């Protein structure tokens, strides 16, 4: 009996040690994101052209034969994201949490880590994940920086990040927006406001789902959404060109159904779809 208990204890101890070793293997150097930002500043403003220089080897004007600094940083981040994805699939939530604590000094690593913990826990507690994304333009730029850093994707992207970690973050923010989680609308639309043309098209397709499937969220979060009417009008314009008039009428009626008579925002909301018939 004692022998059996001893063997069980040793097995548990070995399992715990292995998980700790796996967590310790996932990490990034301190100051990695700051190093990337410094390189980005030398290249120029973070426009589409500048981001191309950051993610396409050989386009940046370095004047030496060393491996491009941004490429080294991208490789290190991608290795971390792959390690983190493997860890989430193979071990317990405690091991992922340990990894996140070690990566806490790096804002990008911490943000992706918090998302993994959120997913690992069945998307039940979103606060730590949302809090890891700073409010305002700083948080939005972090996501688009992450997209630039992690591009191009590895030859075999992880199952957890098939489109890359930045777009996985956007997908999860969108799901939280649909669920009307606190602060999700503000953070999602701030990310949209800083998006490139590619990112705006991607998020625009998600907003079509929001307008069609979640009229209650649109009405409730209008104090946030009204600041982004140019983007919303573009989405509605795309929908008008692609959908039959009956579908647009149905969406307008859906929104009107969540508009009580005393809601002063509703005339502005319904104006997005033109006049009622």
Instruction: Please state, in angstroms and rounded to a whole number, the distance separating the CA atoms of residues 51 and 241.
Output: 32
What is the reported pLDDT for 156?
74
What per-residue confidence (pLDDT) applies to 167?
Answer: 96
pLDDT-flagged residues of the chain (< 70): 1-25, 44-68, 155, 275-277
Distance CA 82, CA 65 (A): 28
- Find tokens 């688009």 and name the residue: 144
CB within 8 A of 28, min separation 6: which ones? 76, 77, 80, 103, 106, 109
Q: Which residues contact 121 (CB under 8 A, 6 or more apart)?
A: 93
Of residues 146, 31, 16, 175, the one with CA closest to residue 81: 146
pTM of the predicted model, to two decimals? 0.82
CA atoms within 13 A on the CB side of 202: 19
By C-alpha distance, which of 217, 199, 126 is closest to 163?
A: 199
Pull the structure tokens for residue 217. 């969220």
Angstrom distances, CA of residue 43 to CA of 37, 55, 76: 10, 11, 20
Rounded CA separation 42/60 (Å) = 10
């Amino acid at each position: 009996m004692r022998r059996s208990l001893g063997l069980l204890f040793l097995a548990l101890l070995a399992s715990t040690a292995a998980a700790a070793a796996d967590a310790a293997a996932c990490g990034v150097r301190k100051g990695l994101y700051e190093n990337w930002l410094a390189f980005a500043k030398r290249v120029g403003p973070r426009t589409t052209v500048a981001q191309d220089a950051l993610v396409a080897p050989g386009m940046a004007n370095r004047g030496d034969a060393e491996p491009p600094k941004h490429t080294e940083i991208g490789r290190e981040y991608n290795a971390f994201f792959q390690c983190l994805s493997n860890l989430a699939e193979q071990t317990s939530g405690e091991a992922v949490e340990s990894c996140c604590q070690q990566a806490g000094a790096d804002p990008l690593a911490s943000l992706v880590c918090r998302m993994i913990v959120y997913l690992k826990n069945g998307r039940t507690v979103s606060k730590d994940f949302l809090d890891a994304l700073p409010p305002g333009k700083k948080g939005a730029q972090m996501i688009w920086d992450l997209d630039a850093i992690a591009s191009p994707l590895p030859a075999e992207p992880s199952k957890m990040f098939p489109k890359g970690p930045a777009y996985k973050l956007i997908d999860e923010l969108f799901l939280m927006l649909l669920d009307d989680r606190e602060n999700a609308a503000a953070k999602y639309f701030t990310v949209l406001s800083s998006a490139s043309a590619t990112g705006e098209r991607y998020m625009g397709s998600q907003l079509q789902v929001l307008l069609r499937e979640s009229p209650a969220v649109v009405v409730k979060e209008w104090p946030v959404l009204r600041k982004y009417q140019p983007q919303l009008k573009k989405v509605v314009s795309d929908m008008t060109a692609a959908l039959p008039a009956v579908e647009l009428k149905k969406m307008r009626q859906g929104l009107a159904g969540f508009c009580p008579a005393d809601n002063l925002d509703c005339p502005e909301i319904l104006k997005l779809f033109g006049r009622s018939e």
